[in-house]
Structure 1
Amino acid sequence: MKYAYLIMGRYDEKTDRAEIQDGKARIVGVKDLETACTVANELIKEGVNCIELCGGFGSAGAKAIIEATGNEIPIGYITHLPEQDELYAKVFSKK
């Protein structure tokens, strides 16, 4: 089983990558949703069986990647408990 985690931000998908366990688990930074869709399809071709997304993608981003990959593998996204909304807003605010 191979897994991947995509994070979105100021990343270059070609260089902002890491893997452990001989590629069984990977992390890839992407700059936007369009790039994430492309990378997700590349990962599937490389044998990745499940992709998790950072919370920045939200449900709409997860749905877009599911559609772009033809619902071929599980795509999940990270979320948090509502009681931490204020903390997340502080940490991820765009100043």
Structure 2
Amino acid sequence: MTRPTQEMLAETEYPITTDELIERHGDRRIDLDDGAETLREILTRTAAETYERPEDAEYAIYSAVSEHAIGRKGYSDRDPTPPGSPHGPDQVSF
């Protein structure tokens, strides 16, 4: 998350509900690895709740961003590719 968005969340008075946060800051653009979304687009994917502190709102945002926020889809440098996954390496025959 960008520093300006974190600062906006830190300067917001808490507690605040999801709807109030959308009403006040819903047009704020959140840049992602592969595009951007507004705070409204992100938070409408979450259940309505009341945030008690900036970190609560930040975690809700992180949990609701779209797949445009991830790097290579299906990539992991820690786990082997599951059998049958369309994201695995191509077979090479020698």
Quick check: which has more Rg, 1 or 2? 2
Relative to its length, the structure with more strand (as a share) is 1
Is the structural similarity TM-score above 0.5? no
Structure 1 length-normalised TM: 0.23
Structure 2 length-normalised TM: 0.23
